[in-house]
Amino acid sequence: MPRKILIADDDVQMVNALRTLLENVGFVVTVTHHSKEVVELTRRERPDLILLDVLFAGMPGPDGFEISRKIAKDAELRTTPVIILSGVKRVIASDFAVEPDPEWLPVAAFLDKPVRPDQLLKEIERLLSDRSHS
């Protein structure tokens, strides 16, 4: 059975590139461009993994950090691995290290945009392999 990935990002070009990459290697992809939909879509679609942006344009809503904390606190969803894909370091022109943290950033990985396709696929496979062995 193909594995499902939810992409949550407001950058249409990024989403299209990620969708093409992931579908070409056999994943089923669900997409949302709105941060407010991520938790509900995760409940409904039950993805095996979530690719999540940090900063969403448009109407006020939760950012990727808030969404990752909501997922981590939800008994039904907390085992779903989340990879943050973000250009936030470029936006704020900072070299600060952003690392997964159980309280502040409860995600499986944080990758800076632009991410190399091979790096992303390697991280996805690592997390899905870890999940199937647990």
Burial pattern 58-76, b for ≥16 Cβ within 10 A else e, equals eeeeebbbebbbebbeeee
Amino acid at 52: L
Query: In the predicted model, what is the mean pLDDT of the chain?
Result: 88
pLDDT at 91 over 60: no
Mean pLDDT across 38-61:
91
Mean pLDDT across 108-115:
90
Distances (CA, A) of 116 to 56, 92, 105, 113: 21, 21, 22, 8
**Domains observed in the chain:** 4-115 (3.40.50.2300)
CA dihedral 68, 70, 74, 79 (to 10 degrees): 0
Mean pLDDT across 97-102:
60
